[in-house]
Amino acid sequence: MEEHKHIFRENVIPEVPDLAIYIPNFITQEEEDEITKYVNNTPLPKWTQLTHRRLQNWGGNPHPRGMIAEEIPSWLQKYVNKVSSCDIFEKNKLPNHVLLNEYLSGQGIMAHSDGPLFHPIVTTISCGSHTLLDFYKRLDSTEQHQPNLEFSFLLERRSLFILQGDLYHNYLHSIAERDTDVVSKSVIKNLSICGDKFSEGEILKRGTRLSLTIRHVPKTSKLKLKIG
């Protein structure tokens, strides 16, 4: 545990509310290749096609009435365990669900919060490409204007990002639909702890990104489904 506390002291993102943690090179190149291989070999029925991206649910489908728990395959459970070993989650709230999103270059997701179906700690492993995660202050429902961008985080491939606390409850996050991102030191708050060094104005070209969002769903059904 002491070792993890040490990691987190170095990896807490400065200048943003509460405890956002960013760990570059959380997985190795070999592990990234392994994830990509398994995801690309997943049978088509496991994919859900949305308008601007496609995704897979592992561990079950979160639902207000409760998630019917399914076994997570061993190739993926390995990364759930790796995240659990960081001691971010309490013992009785260990991750039991993985949402896997595929973002092609130019695809994104509109501003949202992860909401009450999940325990308010979100961990994300990025594979294949970087992305820029943008944060907006959650507006009071009486405020009609467009929320302003507060800050962004650069999520490098093979990194782990941990979102919790104030950032979970009081901010929305999104990924803009574009092919490239421009490095701005005044907006991107985690550049000082990124694995690579980036210069002001540098243009980063996006590729296909696989995002593994690993979370705890508190409300689950006791019925466990085994899938082959």
Q: How far is CA 164 from CA 32, 54, 107, 167, in A?
A: 25, 25, 25, 6
- Considering only the C-alpha atoms of the chain, give the largest distance between any 2 of them, rounded to a whole number of Å: 52
Residue 220, φ and ψ in degrees, nearest 5: -125, 155
Amino acid identity of residue 25, one-letter, is: N
pLDDT at 144: 56
Residue 34 has pLDDT above 90, yes or no: yes
- pLDDT confidence band for 2 (50 / 70 / 90): very low
Least confident piece of the model among 15-19, 55-59, 94-98: 15-19
Host H or E run for residue 22? strand 21-23
pLDDT tens for each residue of 104-150: 999 999 988 877 778 889 999 999 999 999 999 887 665 556 778 99
Mean pLDDT, residues 185-194: 97
Q: Give the CA-trace dihedral at 206, 122, 14, 167, to 10 degrees.
A: 110
All structural domains of the chain: 1-219 (2.60.120.590)
Q: How far is 159 from 194, CA to CA, in rounded Å?
A: 9
For the beta carbon of residue 27, count every other beta carbon within 10 angstroms: 22
Residue with tokens 């859900």: 48
Q: Which of 212, 182, 216 is nearest to 200 (CA)?
A: 182
Number of residues assigned to the chain:
228
Mean pLDDT, the chain, integer: 90
Residue 38 has pLDDT above 50, yes or no: yes
Q: How far is 155 from 179, CA to CA, in rounded Å?
A: 15
pLDDT at 216: 93
Q: How far is 21 from 193, CA to CA, in rounded Å?
A: 10
pLDDT at 8: 75
Paired residues of 205 in beta bridges:
180
> With b meaning 16 or more CB within 10 Å and e meaning fewer, what string describes 46-84?
eeeeeeebbbbbbbbebeeebbebbebeeebbebbebbb
DSSP letters of 25-61?
T-S-HHHHHHHHHHHHTS-GGG-EE-SS-EEEEES--
Residue with tokens 């019917």: 68
